[in-house]
Amino acid sequence: MGLWKVWSFTSRFNSSKRTNTILQHLTMSKHTDAAAEVLLERKGCAGVITLNRPKFLNALNLSMIQQIYPQLKKWEQDPETFLIIMKGAGEKAFCAGGDIRVISENTKTNPKMVQDFFREEYMLNNAIDSCLKPYIALIHGITMGGGVGLSVHGQFRVATEKSLFAMPETAIGLFPDVGGGYFLPRLQGKLGYFLALTGFRLKGRDVYTAGIATHFVDSEKLGMLEDDLLALNSPSKENIADVLETYHTKSKIDQDKSFILEEHMDKINSWFSANTVEEIIENLQQDGSSFALEQLKVINKMSPTSLKITLRQLMEGSSKTLPEVLTMEYRLSQACIAWSLILGKNCPDVLSFKWIRSSRSKMRESRYEPRRSNILREAMTFMKALGQF
């Protein structure tokens, strides 16, 4: 039998399975409100979590976290739930991150809500990492910040050609949290340090090649993959991995394309091995290549305080467990908020959400200024005094 006939037969067989699965959904899924910010559904053999704010790129807020966490724990103990799938509604984003607007608006007026957001978000990140059931994140579309926290700690992460990964926190006066201090320094070489400090964006298969995703699947096959997973009968972790691997192997999109940073990795490993931000900047200046100067230009636009905090965060996190890193990052997040409130306009680069504009052309033009080292030194001393470092 030719390969095409085998594929045709297999497709018809899978289609039949998917039809039965859909019928099963109609009788087994609990009622969900399509207008809800997050949908929690029992489908086939799985619990399915859908981030349902497509107009806001599925940005994560406290209410969503407080719905997801207990359901995740419930499914983890349910003998009839064999896997958990996390996905985003719409075609644009898995999750573009935490709802920065809400956090910004409540920093002064409702600080407890902001504390709760960070604490409960990090608790959810840890719950995903320690989940006893296979956890699959379908990171189709934009996956940044908080969205990374909902995916990267899971056992399986499936990227598509439309995936876009970034940790852009140094641009808004924060740091790459949600366990960034754990997974970033564990990427190949100094790639994680580079991604953290520059906010560089990885797209498509590069998300898989970098180690952010565990599998790569054509976006048009994502629905079929989900149906085949849901149709599994009391699957083991190995059964689930086999299905994912089958789809991954069949994907040919950009299969022979080199990693976007491949030709620069030796230099990235050298530049970002420095122990201080100043040394990294000096390395880039001395190199003088177009790529080095491009990264220098980017770093010069980032929050100086965030750059220093982030570098130290990753250095510390490289030898800590995830729970230890999340504890450190929670303390850091609260210290950043306190520091921004204490200094206010005297230190606008910490948690400066005003930098975010509706138009990219209006983004702020800050510069890394060594003459501000006294403020940076005070900030780091402040963090140390609160026990973050």
Q: Could you give the residue numbers annotated as active site?
A: 98, 146, 169, 177
Closest-CA residue to 42 (of 27, 64, 63): 27
Beta strand ranges found along the chain (DSSP E)? 38-43, 46-51, 83-88, 93-95, 135-139, 142-144, 156-159, 164-166, 202-203, 215-216
- Describe the crossing of helices 277-287 and 290-299 by its angle, rounded to 10 degrees: 150
d(CA 293, CA 287): 8
Amino acid at 365: E
DSSP string computed for 330-381: HHHHHHHHHHHHHHGGGSTTSS-GGG--SSGGG-------GGGHHHHHHHHH
> Structure tokens of 289?
């290549």
- Burial class of residue 343 (count of CB atoms within 10 Å of its CB; 0-12, 13-18, 19+): middle
First to last CA, the chain: 64
Rg (CA), the chain: 22
d(CA 142, CA 164): 5
Contact 304, 376 (CB under 8 A): yes
Phi, psi (deg, nearest 5) at residue 36: -65, 150
| Buried residues in 183-209 as b, exposed as e (16+ CB within 10 A) | bbbebeebbbbbbbbbbbbbebbbbbb
Element spanning 228, H or E: helix 222-230
- Please tell me whether residue 273 adopts helix, strand or coil conformation: coil
- Please tell me whether residue 227 adopts helix, strand or coil conformation: helix
Contact 225, 158 (CB under 8 A): yes
DSSP string computed for 114-174: HHHHHHHHHHHHHHHHT-SS-EEEEE-SEEETHHHHTTTTSSEEEE-TT-EEE--GGGTTS
